Structure 1
């Protein structure tokens, strides 16, 4: 989950409750509404009808009639536990997000209840009510019981300490299994239920616990090493994954309903990483394999032993054939498997698997249904989180769009929401395990794509503008995969888990041998004498130079040094230019340079328009265009007072900026885009989210959350990061 300021946190909480519709904002000054069509990328639903696909799915439970109940630790707008059927989102449970609550990695259902694994905290001691929240310094892990007919309704099994308090009502239906010090992982690893009994995998305690499904009183328990997912067979026996936390390859164990071990002859294929298990009506086992196979494996019992009897999915999943190309049966990071009474199989994925803390919610959730013959029935996708979009700079692909770790293709002849197609997943953890997407905690990153020396490169800034990742492409050998090529590190903390990274941060890495791995001899430390970490502005210009706006330290320019023998862009501390903070600024937060006209657009704060505590990702309050930037005596052409209403509800500030064609585009923190003429500085008007997305946007919570592209017919596509509901907004505007 992104780290937020108090104002961001309160706004996101309001957004999670559906309270932010930017059309309701009352600007401090009159504005001209620009006529634009709103669409989006990356989610099956745009929120026009109030629905969206959650950004992560780590567990599923399937009802006999094909309803799929999901769970995950986090969805930005509170849909951690949701319900889907026939390719539609039916609703979500709520009460799993904010005010101390979080989702989890397990869910089970019977004919009456949904049992949802959740976590409960106290917001660093700010939430105080005995029996409702844990004491300061403690955290709870347990199970929330909901009515299956309406999971928003708690199914209490103990008195509420205060019937007037909705949080106390939630607590009346919460079974606490583990109370641990804050920061300790003691989550529930698996759940399974029938009409009388609930089985819970208490992974941290190395046991299966058995509860009465009505009274929620514990009836029994038995020891299992690090138990995870659980499945109940038609004969009442219990299948359990064991060794799910520390073992490289979890095992499958079989027990009677009372916990006696049943010795089965069941051997998983080599390299299998079992992450979930289900049993169909015929007693056939379905095992979700998140290893290199990326398949669902079927096992059937013959002559007293279980043998593999089939599989669902292409072997290798999305990484087979053209690596990164999505499609039916091309799974990517399996997290869950289930089956309904008709034999339809349901598979959830999130791009990585059920246990990967740094990025689990950043690689994209999918939920799919397959008929018994393997044909896909339906799919829903929630592919983007803390992500932006940038048009492909390859002139042969004008309808291709990059995000932080995906590629989409557009067909603008189609209606909003149907005008995009998921075309490529860029991160290949099997071939390039050193990819910093898997070793930094700032999600894949915000994209800038450039065409240099006839080749396409992707530059990704993180949501705190700390570092810059650089990727190259080799479609002939790597399909859609973005190959790690370069990296400019900021502070030590953000890059501490990058393989072989030298201590202290502030280094440059380049893949000099072309293998995509971070070898120890490929790092160059900053020996310039001045620390270069810090600052909010990254920009890569069309000539390949990298610009870094560093608050009070000025503007730094890494000059593009061509391509090395392996096709990597070359940047070096020895080829770095520093520019002082230009007048009238006291701090610079963005610096956007156009080499074709030698023009620089700088934003930040001045003595007359100072910064305000708590507003730290914004571009600032003032924009100045400078001509003849490289002359040594840049000439200010105009100054713009940017929208700044910090006491607005929601606040009105500009958090992202880009320049394209004839215009400067700036986005407010809740998705509204201001457009200025880049020659005169005159504001033309504002574009706000349309009915296609419910006239709503979540918080733009990143410093590089807007881009624009002018098409050959004069239309502009404007892309805006949208935290709340798993997508990127796309505005279509023709002046």
Structure 2
């Protein structure tokens, strides 16, 4: 009888659904042993102006050119889905250059156009077993590749490469600037300190070359003279077409990153220094600064970090059309923020492609309305249509005030956002769990900027310093360390480190709701769990941790290789994943999640109790291979996502039984890239009982999210 009434209730609800038109919601029905569970879920996304399929905004535009009609041609060194060269018009995507992804090919730092062709700076590496014209082993060609204006490769008689469309400029370093005028192609060969000049009608022929120290991007004025950036000097130089240096050097630009001459003959320079503006010069005689585009100070003006129409940041690209519109690209540190401005400086449209190997987390205080990625803050309105629920609220990175911000020098990928003792903090780790970065917020002093506050770094398995490079000269010479910004200046100063030496192979990190930090160590001596209790929030607002107060905990005997950890202090519940004797790893991969997940109750008691043991999706022999990538515990459920299929598995937290699976729906073109980070899924339960599930989508510059209710 009970099952009968449940069935009637189900039929009634189904009839209601049938008479309500819901165009963006997929209805999924899942049966359990205790009855019927109906789950409604919607797929959507954050961080890209388009949802996928043929349309996505590429990441990290390095250079751009604009034709007279306002078509924008862009170049990126790498776009995961293959839009290294994108073509945009009127706020829409209209194409891309083909065959710049795979077979050792990448985009580059410069691009130029004329009435017939696109000239793309790119690189071609050697490829084993490749047919045709490729570099020899150990050699890389830094080339100009020619395309027609539709993005099809355009071979030429002296062309190189597998399809004869490449002009090899160097084997020493990347091309840093390109420009065309009067059937000439000007190429900045920075490795040789040369400007090389080629005949566009006979592209394999170099006409002349002339010496310029550290040449960068180039533009050409009405008199066919060159204005070019001298990299790392703050200068824009002036040259004749034949290579004679002319008067008019501009010396006082903070960090020029792009140049263009507009229809009025004015020189526009993107200043990526402290001004974060487009500088406009009259160059009829000696250059004279006559105007600017954008708010002085850019995104750091007024309330630092807040995104606004004329607040620019991380400038990398600049272009103009014949109507006097100006096109600017921001996002040099990883994403794309492409904007068109009218001649009067009013924003016309904006295109965003903000994410690569990135996921998000919510601010618990705002119940999912504020979402944070490693560099971006989004404000959400879930009542809006699919793909429109997010607003780009703020950019949280300030390289001028905090030049040692680890985000500028490392590659974080995953966010844990926590409210600890009433204060917001952001924790970041990377693809390999090698570090955990800590950021605090102070709206009075820094607006929306995330302030470097602390960092955990694992022991270097090869010995020596834990962090490579020369940006961190104060770190200990060996072992692992915890840094805390004791003086509150956001810099890594002497005397701010606590050092230690431990097993080097980290399986995972976790920051619990109290602010305690947990770490697992892979294949260790049986004591593979590290617990760092939060000691205090100091006077500067930093959370304090130490090795002195660190607690070592035993790895349960089930595991031979411990990977992920999530601890729930409110219920003293521990979730651990890894490989076991029964289900070992087929090969070693430091990013893998493991083959089993185990829940323990009463973890911090003398006798923790194993509640259940679950074999997670894991079959490396399948094609494509099935590997669990990440997990997230929220409310009454556990959410897992697989590596290559991006399929979400939902389990009951109490029983470990499978409830439902989710896959990217038509809202995101039924596609996803790989889940390539250890925390590629983040699930949260809102106060209304609704669940939000955010999933990395590293293919087309976004984060996918699901909205569902049980």
Asked if TM exceeds 0.5, the reply is yes
**TM alignment of 1:30-109, pairs within 5 A:** 35-47=40-52, 49-109=53-113
- The aligned residue for residue 147 of structure 1 is 148
Name the SS for the 2:299 alignment partner. Answer: helix
SS at 2:693 equivalent: strand
How far is the alpha carbon of 1:145 from its aligned partner?
0.1
RMSD: 1.8
Q: What's the counterpart of residue 474 of structure 1?
A: 442
Distance across 1 between alignment mates of 2:174 and 2:368: 46
Cα distance in structure 1, aligned partners of 2:692 and 2:261: 47
Q: 8 Å contact 1:589–1:604 — kept in the other structure?
A: yes
Flag the 1:444–1:323 CA change in 2: closer, same or farther, 3 A.
farther
Q: Which of 278, 281, 290 is equivalent to 2:272?
A: 290
Corresponding position of 1:495: 467
Mapped to 1, the partners of 2:438 and 2:444 lie a distance apart of: 19
Which residue does 1:326 correspond to in 2?
307
Specify every segment of 5 or more residues in structure 2 that has no aligned partner in the other structure, as ranges. 1-25, 27-36
**Residue 338 (1) aligns with residue 319 (2):** yes
Deviation at 1:678, TM superposition (A): 0.2
What is aligned with 2:683?
A: 708
Q: Structure 1 pair 209/424, CA: closer, same or farther in 2 (3 Å)?
A: same
Instruction: Tell me which residue corresponds to 2:370.
Output: 400
Residue 128 of structure 1: CA displacement?
4.5
Shift of the 606–614 alpha-carbon distance from structure 1 to 2, 3 Å rule, reads closer
**Partner residue, 1:431:** 401
Deviations 1:701-731 (A, max 9, x none): 0111111111122110001111111111111
Aligned partners of 1:190 and 1:230 also within 8 Å:
yes
Asked if residue 552 in structure 1 is aligned to residue 523 in structure 2, the reply is yes
- Are the structure 2 counterparts of residues 285 and 494 from structure 1 closer, same or farther at C-alpha, using a change threshold of 3 Å? farther
The number of aligned residues is 664
For 1:296 and 1:596, how far apart are their aligned partners in 2? 52
Matched ranges for 1:272-671 at <5 A: 272-301=254-283, 304-351=285-332, 360=333, 362=334, 364-395=335-366, 398-440=368-410, 443-492=411-460, 495-497=467-469, 498-499=471-472, 500-526=474-500, 530-553=501-524, 554-669=528-643, 670-671=645-646
Q: Distance in 2 between matches of 1:491 and 1:154?
A: 48
Which structure has the larger Rg over C-alpha atoms? 2
Post-superposition CA distance 1:347-391 (Å, at most 9, x none): 11224xxxxxxxx4x3x2111111000001111111111111111
TM-score, reference length from structure 1: 0.88
**Which residue number in structure 2 is paired with residue 226 of structure 1?**
214
Cα gap change, 1:610 to 1:507, in 2 (>3 Å): same
1:263 counterpart residue number: 247
2:8 matched to which residue of 1?
Answer: none
Is the 1:111–1:195 Cα contact (8 Å) retained in structure 2?
no
Q: Which has the larger share of strand?
A: 2
**CA separation of 1:79 and 1:235: change in aligned 2, threshold 3 A:** same
**Cα distance in 2 for residues equivalent to 1:637 and 1:487:** 34
Shift of 1:532: 4.4
Q: Residue 418 of structure 1: SS of its match in structure 2?
A: coil
Which secondary structure state, in structure 1, belongs to the residue aligned with residue 675 of structure 2? coil
Partner of 2:237: 253
Deviation at 1:35, TM superposition (A): 4.1
2 CA distance for matches of 1:78 and 1:445? Answer: 21
List per-residue Cα deviations over 1:73-123 (Å, max 9, x = no partner).
Answer: 111111111111111111211322221111100000000000000011115
Q: Which has the higher contact order (CA 8 A, sep 6+)?
A: 1
CA deviation vs aligned residue, 1:219-276 (integer Å, no higher than 9, x gap): 111111111111111222222222x1xx342x22222222232222x5444x521111
Normalised to the residue count of structure 2, the TM-score between the two structures is 0.91
Equivalent residues of 2:683, 2:692 under 8 A apart: yes
Matching of residue 720 in structure 1 with residue 695 in structure 2: yes
Q: Is the 8 A contact 1:254 1:263 kept in 2?
A: yes
Kept in 1, the 8 Å contact 2:681–2:693? The answer is yes
Q: Which residue is equivalent to 1:205? A: 192
Aligned residue number for residue 157 of structure 1: 156
Distance 1:241 1:566 in 2: 41
Distance 2:588 2:580 in 1: 17
Asked whether the 8 Å contact 1:495–1:505 carries over to 2, the reply is no
Cα contact 1:496–1:503 (8 A) shared by 2 = no
Alignment gaps of 5+ in structure 1 = 1-22, 24-31, 162-166, 181-185, 352-359
Mapped contact 2:305–2:449 kept (Cα < 8 A)? yes
Give the equivalent residue in structure 1 for 2:171.
179
